[in-house]
Amino acid sequence: MSKIILTGDRPTGRLHVGHYVGSLRRRVELQNSGEFDKIFIMIADAQALTDNAENPEKVRQNIIEVALDYLSCGLDPEKSTLLIQSQIPELTELTFYYMNLVTVSRLQRNPTVKSEIQMRNFEASIPVGFFTYPISQAADITAFKATTVPVGEDQLPMLEQTKEIVRKFNSVYGDTLVEPDILLPDNKACLRLPGTDGKAKMSKSLNNCIYLSDPEEEVRKKVMSMFTDPNHLQVSDPGQVEGNPVFIYLDAFCKDDMFAEYLPEYSCLQELKDHYTRGGLGDVKVKKFLNNVLQEQLSPIRTSRKEWEQRIPDIYEILHKGSMEAEEVAARTLDDVKKSMKINYFDDHALIAEQADRYKAE
Q: Write out the residues near ligand ATP by the rule CB under 6 A.
A: 9-10, 12, 18-19, 22-23, 151-152, 154-155, 192-193, 201-205
Give me the least distance between CB of 47 and ligand ATP, in Å please: 8
- Of all residues in the shown chain, the one whose CB is closest to ligand ATP is 22
Give me the least distance between CB of 8 and ligand ATP, in Å please: 7
Of 205, 226, 149, 211, the residue nearest 18 (C-alpha): 211
Give me the least distance between CB of 266 and ligand ATP, in Å please: 26
User: Which lies closer to ligand ATP via its Cβ, residue 9 or residue 65?
Assistant: 9
DSSP letter at 16? Answer: B
User: Which lies closer to ligand ATP via its Cβ, residue 212 or residue 315?
Assistant: 212
CB atoms near residue 91 (< 10 Å):
27
User: Which lies closer to ligand ATP via its Cβ, residue 132 or residue 155?
Assistant: 155
Give me the least distance between CB of 308 and ligand ATP, in Å please: 20
Give me the least distance between CB of 118 and ligand ATP, in Å please: 13
Per residue, what are the HEC states of 279-315? CCCCHHHHHHHHHHHHHHHHHHHHHHHHHHHCCHHHH
d(CA 138, CA 355): 35
DSSP letter at 50? Answer: T
DSSP one-letter string for 328-349: HHHHHHHHHHHHHTT--GGG-H
User: Which lies closer to ligand ATP via its Cβ, residue 110 or residue 155?
Assistant: 155
Give me the least distance between CB of 242 and ligand ATP, in Å please: 17
User: Which lies closer to ligand ATP via its Cβ, residue 11 or residue 239?
Assistant: 11
Q: List Cα–Cα distances, 317 to 78, 159, 199, 312, in angstroms.
A: 13, 31, 38, 9
User: Which lies closer to ligand ATP via its Cβ, residue 201 or residue 273?
Assistant: 201
Which amino acid type is present at position 83?
Answer: L
